[in-house]
C-alpha cells in the first residue's frame, strides 16, 4: 500500500470519530446550571486576592471547623477563566474538557475498527460527559482519568518508563480535585493485572504524592465522617435513584457501561477474540470496579462511561479487513442521532450564558436595594450564588457541604425541610432576621409553613425565590414587574 493510500485510509477511519468528538463538544456547550459554580468563583477570587488559602470558611457564619479546600486549584483556574472570558469562557471550558477526555480515551490516532459497539459507546459516553459537564473540578478529573488510562494501556502494550508520568499527573490531581480515587484505582488495578516492580513503584509513588497538597492526608479524610449523609446529596445518589429521577447523563453512561460488561461476559467467539487482546484482565478488573462504585454513587457514571468507550473502541471485529472495507457511515450517523436525542431529553440548553431562570437574580437585586438585616437563613442550593452575588451577608449553608460544615449542621437542615416546626429551635440559636428560600424542591414544605407564621412576612416573591423577614416596619413587600 502506498503512503498516500495509507494516509487516505487513516483519514477515512479517523473522520467519523472526529465528527462524534466535535458533536460531543457542541453538546457540552450548554448553559451552566450547577449551583456550586458560584462558590467556586468566590473561593477562587478570594485565593487570588489574598494570595493564600483561607484556613477557615470566610463566607458563612455557621462553620466552625477548618476548611479543607481540596479543590483549590480548580477554583483558581475557573476564577481566572471567568475573569478573562466570563461565563462564555466557562462554557467553552466544558466543551474542551469533554473533547480532550474522550480523545485521550480513544486508541492512538483514532484508528479503531469500525464496529457498531464502538459507535454506540462513543455516542453514549459523549452524551454522558456532555450533559454532565459543568464548570467544576470534575472537568479536570475527567482529563486526568483519561490520561492515566492512556498511560496504563500504553504500558500494557509496550512497557516503558513513561508510566512514571502518572506522578506529575497525581500532583496536579491532588490539588485540582484532591481525594478523587479514580486514577489511583487504575494504577492499582494495572499492578494487580500485570504485576511488576516498576508498576508497584508507580502505584506506591502516586499514593504518596496524593499528600503533595496543602492539607496532606486530610484531603482524603474530609468527607469520610459524613458517609451516612452523602446519599442526601443528589450527585451522591445511587445509580438506581439517579435513573429513577430520569438523569439522562446517568442513563447514557449506564448504557455504555452495560454494553461493555456484556462484552466481557458474553460467551462465544466474540469473547475468545477479546481474551486474545493484551490487557483483558485489566479491563475486567477496571470495568467491574467502576461499575460497582457507580451503582453505589452515580457521581462516577461519567468515569465509567470513559472507561467503557475506551474498551468498546478497542474491540476487534470478526473480519477486520471486511469491516474497514465497508467504510460505513451508518454507525457515526446513528451515534449523532443518539447524542442529539440525549440532548433533547435533558434539561440543558445550549448557550454561552447562565440559565437565568434557575438562579435567584431577582432576589439578589432586592437584597442589594433594601439590604434587610441578617442573620440570613438560605436554601442549600442558593448558598453559593448568594455568597458570590451578595457578599454583604454571610450564608447559613452552601454546596460545599462537609468540607466546611459539620454533619450535624447538614442533618439539621434536612430535619428543617422535613419538620418545619424545628425552625423555632434553630431560630433561638441563630437569631434569623432574613430568609432567602427556593420556591421549588425539597424545602417547599418549609417555605409554605414559614409563610403562615405571623412573625415572618414575605417581602419579595418570584418564580425562583422568596424573601421573608422577621416582623419589621421598615421594609415593604414587593413583587417584580409582570408577576
Q: Is the domain of 138 the same as that of 185?
A: yes
* 30 three-state secondary structure: strand
Q: Which residues are bridge partners to 60 per DSSP? A: 395
Q: Is the domain of 429 the same as that of 462?
A: yes
pLDDT of residue 280: 83
- Closest of 463, 400, 295 to residue 43, by C-alpha: 400
Q: Is the domain of 396 the same as that of 332?
A: no
Q: Residue 319 is part of which domain span?
A: 3-30+68-345
Q: Is the domain of 167 the same as that of 292?
A: yes
Residue where one domain finishes, among candidates 290, 322, 345: 345
Q: Is the domain of 328 the same as that of 450?
A: no
* DSSP letter (8 states) at residue 313: T
**For residue 461, is it within any domain?**
yes
**For residue 142, is it within any domain?**
yes
Q: 107: which 3 cell numbers?
A: 486508541
Total number of domains constituting the chain: 2
Q: Are 174 and 209 in contact (CB under 8 A)?
A: yes
Q: What is the C-alpha to C-alpha distance for residues 286 and 187, in angstroms, rounded to an integer?
A: 10
CA distances from 101 to 77, 85, 324, 334 (A): 18, 22, 26, 22
Q: What is the C-alpha to C-alpha distance for residues 238 and 18, in angstroms, rounded to an integer?
A: 33
CA distances from 386 to 375, 383, 391 (A): 13, 5, 7
Can you list the positions of beta strands (E) in 327-450? 376-378, 434-438
* DSSP letter (8 states) at residue 66: B
* 459 three-state secondary structure: strand
Q: Are 64 and 407 in contact (CB under 8 A)?
A: no
Q: Is the domain of 123 the same as that of 246?
A: yes
Q: What is the C-alpha to C-alpha distance for residues 295 and 92, in angstroms, rounded to an integer?
A: 30
Q: Is the domain of 341 the same as that of 361?
A: no
- Closest of 209, 197, 126 to residue 168, by C-alpha: 209
Residue where one domain finishes, among candidates 322, 345, 368: 345
Edge-to-edge strand ranges of the sheet holding 456-461: 376-378, 434-438, 465-470, 456-461
**For residue 101, is it within any domain?**
yes
Helix-then-strand count for the chain, H and E: 21, 4
Half-sphere exposure of 377 (CA within 13 A, CB side): 28
Q: What is the C-alpha to C-alpha distance for residues 376 and 396, in angstroms, rounded to an integer?
A: 6
- Does residue 375 have a cis bond before it (omega within 30 degrees)? yes
Per residue of the chain (483 residues), what is the pLDDT tens digit?
454 444 444 455 667 777 888 888 999 999 998 889 999 999 999 999 999 998 888 999 998 888 889 999 999 999 999 999 999 999 999 999 999 999 999 887 655 555 777 788 888 888 889 988 999 999 999 999 999 999 999 998 888 889 999 999 999 999 999 888 899 999 999 999 889 999 999 999 999 999 999 988 888 876 565 555 666 666 766 667 666 766 788 888 888 888 888 877 776 666 666 666 668 889 889 999 998 888 888 888 899 999 999 988 887 666 544 444 345 566 677 777 888 888 888 888 888 888 878 899 999 999 999 999 989 999 999 999 999 999 999 999 998 887 888 888 888 998 999 999 999 999 999 999 999 999 988 888 999 999 989 999 999 999 999 999 988 554 444 444 443
Q: Is the domain of 336 the same as that of 396?
A: no
**For residue 259, is it within any domain?**
yes
Q: Is the domain of 292 the same as that of 386?
A: no
**For residue 45, is it within any domain?**
no
Q: What is the C-alpha to C-alpha distance for residues 119 and 140, in angstroms, rounded to an integer?
A: 25
**For residue 47, is it within any domain?**
no
Which run of H or E residues covers position 415? helix 407-418
Q: Is the domain of 454 the same as that of 383?
A: yes
Q: Is the domain of 389 the same as that of 327?
A: no
Q: 380: which 3 cell numbers?
A: 442549600
**For residue 388, is it within any domain?**
yes
**For residue 480, is it within any domain?**
no
Residue where one domain finishes, among candidates 312, 345, 378: 345
Q: Is the domain of 206 the same as that of 262?
A: yes
Q: Parallel, antiparallel, or unpaired: how do β-strands 456-461 and 465-470 relate?
A: antiparallel
Amino acid at each position: 500500500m502506498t503512503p498516500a493510500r495509507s494516509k487516505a485510509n487513516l483519514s477515512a477511519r479517523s473522520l467519523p470519530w472526529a465528527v462524534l468528538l466535535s458533536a460531543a463538544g457542541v453538546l457540552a456547550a450548554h448553559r451552566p446550571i450547577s449551583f456550586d459554580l458560584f462558590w467556586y468563583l468566590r473561593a477562587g477570587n478570594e485565593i487570588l486576592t489574598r494570595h493564600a488559602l483561607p484556613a477557615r470558611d470566610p463566607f458563612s457564619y455557621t462553620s466552625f471547623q477548618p476548611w479543607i479546600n481540596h479543590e483549590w486549584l480548580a477554583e483558581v483556574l475557573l476564577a481566572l477563566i471567568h475573569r478573562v472570558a466570563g461565563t462564555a469562557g466557562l462554557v467553552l471550558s466544558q466543551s474542551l474538557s469533554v473533547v480532550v477526555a474522550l480523545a485521550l480515551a480513544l486508541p492512538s490516532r483514532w484508528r479503531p475498527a469500525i464496529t457498531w459497539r464502538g459507535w454506540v459507546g462513543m455516542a453514549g459516553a459523549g452524551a454522558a460527559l456532555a450533559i454532565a459537564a459543568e464548570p467544576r473540578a470534575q472537568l479536570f478529573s475527567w482529563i486526568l482519568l483519561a490520561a492515566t488510562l492512556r498511560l496504563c494501556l500504553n504500558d500494557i502494550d509496550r512497557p516503558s518508563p513513561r508510566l512514571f508520568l502518572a506522578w506529575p499527573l497525581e500532583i496536579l490531581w491532588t490539588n485540582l480535585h484532591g481525594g478523587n480515587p479514580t486514577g489511583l484505582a487504575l494504577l492499582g488495578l494495572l499492578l494487580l493485572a500485570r504485576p511488576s516492580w516498576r508498576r508497584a513503584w508507580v502505584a506506591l509513588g502516586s499514593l504518596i504524592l496524593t499528600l503533595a497538597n496543602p492539607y496532606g492526608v486530610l484531603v482524603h479524610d474530609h468527607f469520610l465522617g459524613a458517609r451516612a449523609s452523602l446519599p442526601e446529596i443528589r450527585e451522591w445518589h445511587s445509580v438506581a435513584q439517579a435513573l429513577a429521577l430520569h438523569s439522562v447523563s446517568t442513563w447514557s453512561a449506564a448504557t455504555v457501561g452495560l454494553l461493555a460488561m456484556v462484552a466481557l461476559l458474553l460467551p462465544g467467539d466474540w469473547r475468545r477474540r477479546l481474551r486474545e487482546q493484551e490487557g483483558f484482565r485489566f479491563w475486567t478488573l477496571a470495568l467491574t470496579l467502576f461499575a460497582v462504585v457507580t451503582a453505589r454513587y452515580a457521581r462516577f457514571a461519567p468515569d465509567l462511561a470513559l472507561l467503557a468507550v475506551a474498551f468498546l473502541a478497542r474491540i476487534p471485529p470478526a473480519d477486520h479487513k471486511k469491516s474497514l472495507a465497508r467504510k460505513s457511515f451508518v454507525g457515526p450517523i446513528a451515534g449523532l442521532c443518539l447524542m442529539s436525542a440525549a440532548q433533547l431529553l435533558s434539561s440543558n440548553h445550549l448557550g454561552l450564558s447562565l440559565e437565568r431562570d434557575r438562579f435567584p437574580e431577582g432576589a439578589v437585586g432586592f437584597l442589594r436595594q433594601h439590604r434587610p438585616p441578617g442573620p440570613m437563613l438560605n436554601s442549600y442550593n442558593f448558598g453559593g450564588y448568594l455568597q458570590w452575588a451578595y457578599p454583604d451577608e454571610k450564608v447559613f449553608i452552601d454546596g460545599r457541604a462537609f468540607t466546611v460544615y459539620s454533619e450535624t449542621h447538614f442533618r439539621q437542615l434536612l430535619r428543617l425541610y422535613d419538620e418545619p416546626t424545628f425552625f423555632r429551635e434553630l431560630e433561638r440559636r441563630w437569631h434569623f432576621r432574613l430568609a432567602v428560600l427556593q420556591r421549588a424542591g425539597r424545602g417547599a414544605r418549609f417555605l409554605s409553613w414559614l409563610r403562615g407564621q405571623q412573625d415572618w412576612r414575605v417581602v419579595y416573591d418570584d418564580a425562583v425565590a422568596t424573601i421573608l423577614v422577621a416582623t419589621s416596619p421598615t421594609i415593604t413587600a414587593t413583587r417584580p414587574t409582570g408577576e
